Amino acid sequence: MAAAILDGKAMSEDLRSGIARRVEKLKEAGIRPGLAVILVGDDPASEIYVRNKGKGCEEVGILSETVRLPAETTQEALEKEIDRLNRDDRIHGILVQLPLPGHLDEEAALARILPEKDVDGFHMINAGRMMSGVKGVVACTPKGALHMIKTTGLDLSGKEAVVIGRSNIVGKPMAMLLLRENCTVTICHSRTKNLAEHTRRADILVAAVGKAGFVTPDMVKPGAIVIDVGINRVDGKVLGDVDFDGVKEVAGWITPVPGGVGKMTITMLLDNTVEAAERKRELAARG
């Protein structure tokens, strides 16, 4: 039997109406959540992401500011901009679109963002909180992917989860979230030997590789939940890391690309921004 489709578009619409209601509630208290996105240079893929983030904000009533800086921007100028947004009371979330041009220090830029405004969850403080199981900002893509996994209604405790990819943005935080759900987690990467032997054991398989069609049906356990994080542009088409047509005949659940995790990433960014505004309000109320 063909897999059930985990529809990121439908789930996002549902979640976004809840987020819009929270925005309304904040507005009644005189607070409009604000998100600033810094885009350095003119990478076409980043342009699309940033445009979609702006559209998402508009949809739920979040104030959005896009700061465009030229490709030759210095580290000092970038950090000055981050400092300005850190001080701006209208802005609850700051996101520096990655990748940055090669001459810039990504780690230093991310560390400059106030942890409470780090809606990407990339600041070391938030990454550390996640590692320690302490409440903090959770990175948007893994947060969205976990939400999709949970909609299957399966008890995740004790399940075999395999994550392909070890990036700080997806692979590592995804593995931590699944561990928190009491899965037995394996992280595979480019040096993993006999990859398919690992993936075939997975009840939950997350592909964050960056290669179109990398996960083939023979790599998938029948009935597994397959989450495709890949966004690969091939001949003008957007393709995932999973061979969707083949794998959907084996898996129990599968996310499409487009219309899967990508949509959920932006929804979680909106969620994190509203959460940052709610947290600030709570702290102010406590005095």
Indicate the residue among 169 and 215 with the shorter CB distance to ligand GUN.
Answer: 169
Residue selected from 23, 40, 94, 96 as contacting ligand GUN according to rule CB under 6 A: 96
98 near ligand GUN, rule: CB under 6 A? yes
Mention every residue, 6+ apart, whose C-beta is less than 8 A from residue 167: 208
Determine which one of 117, 118, 120, 241 is catalytic: 120
| H or E stretch at 26 | helix 8-28
Residue selected from 26, 57, 95, 204 as contacting ligand GUN according to rule CB under 6 A: 95
In whole angstroms, what is the distance from residue 254 CA to residue 223 CA? 10
241 near ligand GUN, rule: CB under 6 A? no
**Minimum distance between the CB of residue 51 and ligand GUN, rounded to whole angstroms?**
13
The number of residues that bind ligand GUN (CB under 6 A) is: 9
Indicate the residue among 141 and 199 with the shorter CB distance to ligand GUN.
Answer: 141
In whole angstroms, what is the distance from residue 194 CA to residue 43 CA? 35
**Minimum distance between the CB of residue 158 and ligand GUN, rounded to whole angstroms?**
30
Determine which one of 53, 117, 159, 172 is catalytic: 53
Catalytic, 159? Answer no
Tokens of 101: 């041009």
**Minimum distance between the CB of residue 287 and ligand GUN, rounded to whole angstroms?**
33
Helices 44-60, 261-286: inter-axial angle, 10-degree rounding: 50
Stretch of 7-15, 96-104, 182-190, 221-229 lying at the interface with ligand GUN (CB under 6 A):
96-104
> Any bridge partners for residue 207, and if so which?
164, 228
Going by their DSSP bridges, the two strands 253-254 and 93-96 should be labelled as: unpaired
Write the DSSP symbol of residue 242: B
Q: Is the dihedral of CA 154, 214, 261, 78 positive or negative?
A: positive
Going by their DSSP bridges, the two strands 34-40 and 4-5 should be labelled as: unpaired
By beta-carbon distance, which residue lies closest to ligand GUN? 98
Stretch of 90-98, 147-155, 237-245, 276-284 lying at the interface with ligand GUN (CB under 6 A):
90-98
120 near ligand GUN, rule: CB under 6 A? yes
Mention every residue, 6+ apart, whose C-beta is less than 8 A from residue 278: 22, 26
In whole angstroms, what is the distance from residue 48 CA to residue 84 CA? 25
**Minimum distance between the CB of residue 169 and ligand GUN, rounded to whole angstroms?**
6
Least Cα distance to 11 among 151, 207, 142 occurs for 151
Catalytic, 97? Answer yes
Catalytic, 120? Answer yes
141 near ligand GUN, rule: CB under 6 A? yes
**Minimum distance between the CB of residue 140 and ligand GUN, rounded to whole angstroms?**
5
Least Cα distance to 202 among 179, 217, 222 occurs for 222
**Minimum distance between the CB of residue 67 and ligand GUN, rounded to whole angstroms?**
13
Question: Mind telling me the catalytic residues?
Answer: 53, 97, 120
Chain residues in the site for ligand GUN (CB under 6 A): 95-98, 120, 140-141, 169, 265
